[in-house]
Amino acid sequence: MRFMIIVKATKESEAGIMPNETLLSEMGKFNEELVKAGIMQAGEGLQPSSKGARVRFSGSKRTVVDGPFAETKELIAGFWMWKCKSKAEAIEWVKRCPNPMQGESEIEIRQVFEAEDFGAEFTPELREQEERLRGELEKRAKK
């Protein structure tokens, strides 16, 4: 099972306040544990929403809205992609994580859909396309 581990933004992260050396070191050690355990597939911190944009869809119409975005509690400051045996395992790893922010913070755990979750709607042709694209991404990642 794959999980996206979402580090929620705070007022400080949205203000662009960078983590100190101690936190960077603690996170580096935690990431090493994740990699050695075969859990971590990817992970990155994100710039504040003031440097981002959103695209709103309404039928065929597209509207671009530049950041910053008001609801800090709904924003993402960073993420990991993990491969775990269960949600319980992902929870246990998150509980071991250093606090990603200076004060209070929150990390959300969301399971990623797999091909089999889509049932018959995910036709053999769509499955083949998905496998081909994943293969291409893996090749590019190795370069």
The pLDDT value given to residue 73: 82
Prior bond to 68 cis, omega within 30?
A: yes
Average pLDDT over residues 11-37: 96
The pLDDT value given to residue 93: 98
Both tokens of 65, joined, read 């809205």
Confidence band of 21 (pLDDT split at 50, 70, 90):
very high
88 with 120, same domain: the answer is: no
131 with 81, same domain: the answer is: no
Q: How many other β-carbons are positioned within 10 Å of the β-carbon of residue 131?
A: 11
120 with 103, same domain: the answer is: no
Range of the domain at 124: 114-143
30 with 81, same domain: the answer is: yes
Percent of all residues in the chain with a pLDDT value above 70, rounded to a whole number? 100
16 with 40, same domain: the answer is: yes
- Cα dihedral across residues 51, 142, 36, 132: positive or negative: positive
Question: pLDDT tens, 64-87?
Answer: 999 999 888 889 999 999 999 999
24 with 80, same domain: the answer is: yes
Q: 76 versus 115: which is more confidently predicted?
A: 76
Mean pLDDT (the chain, rounded): 95
67 with 86, same domain: the answer is: yes
Longest dimension (CA), the chain: 50
16 with 85, same domain: the answer is: yes
Average pLDDT over residues 82-107: 96
What does pTM read for this prediction?
A: 0.89
CATH number at residue 41: 3.30.70.1060
